[in-house]
Amino acid sequence: MVVAPESLSGLNADQLRERVTDLIAQVARNDQEIGARSLQINALDQQIASLDQTISSKDREILYRQTKIDQLTHEMAVLKRWKFGRSREQLDAGQASLLDETIDADIAAIEQELQDLAPPANAAKEPRQQPKRAALPPELPRVELHHEPDSTTCTCGCQLKRIGEDGGCQGSCRLK
């Protein structure tokens, strides 16, 4: 409520006192609204800060998992290189069998660790539900509409037919 200074000059003392009390009450209400809004803002700021902390912890977890996956993938590549590489051809049968057993065990352990590190894909997705619709009953009336062109004669002079019927345009136009 805005008070024009010209309107104040025509008021007596009681009216001025009443106007001042109204203005003081309005200022008090505005202060209360500002205080309530600042409390809401502080609560939202705290919520944002906690969400930021959650996001940063998730980012760290993702970075750790990706680094571990990269390390294990590299280790698997090195083991496969040892198993199938050129130097493998130079080992005798006894050494090759021992190396095979060791490498196979290492690869199996690494694959298991990769599966343990991978987040569960099915836990986030809910199973899809099949629609619960049934076919329309056969006793319902059916209406078939056929949209006919203005002319069934092609520009080349041949007779046009419906889709699915034998024929089509036999002339030199593009409707073949």
Domains of the chain, by residue range, sit at: 9-120
Q: Output the pLDDT for position 54.
A: 95
Closest to 111 in 3D by CA, of 143, 78, 69: 69
Question: Tens-of-pLDDT digits for all 176 residues of the chain?
Answer: 566 766 777 778 888 888 889 989 999 999 999 999 999 999 999 999 999 999 999 999 999 999 999 999 999 888 888 777 766 566 677 777 787 888 888 888 888 888 888 776 655 566 677 777 787 788 888 887 777 777 778 778 787 777 766 655 555 555 54
3-state secondary structure of 166: coil
By C-alpha distance, which of 116, 20, 29 is closest to 72?
116
Q: Please name the residues in contact with 155: beta carbons below 8 A apart, sequence gap of 6 or more.
A: 171, 173
What is the predicted pLDDT for the residue at 30?
A: 94
Question: pTM score, two decimals?
Answer: 0.38
pLDDT of residue 173: 57
- Residue 80, both tokens: 């496969």
pLDDT of residue 67: 93
- From residue 17, alpha-carbon distances to 13, 22, 51, 107 in Å are 6, 9, 51, 90
Residue 21: the pLDDT is: 92
Q: How far is Cα 140 from Cα 15, in angstroms, rounded to an integer?
A: 80
Helix (H) or strand (E) holding 171: none
Q: What pLDDT is recorded for position 34? A: 94
End-to-end CA distance of the chain: 80
CA atoms within 13 A on the CB side of 115: 6
Q: How far apart are CA 114 and CA 120, in angstroms?
A: 12
DSSP for 72-90, written as a single string: HHHHHHHHHHHHHSGGGGG
Taking alpha carbons only, the member of 117, 114, 115, 116 closest to residue 75 is 114
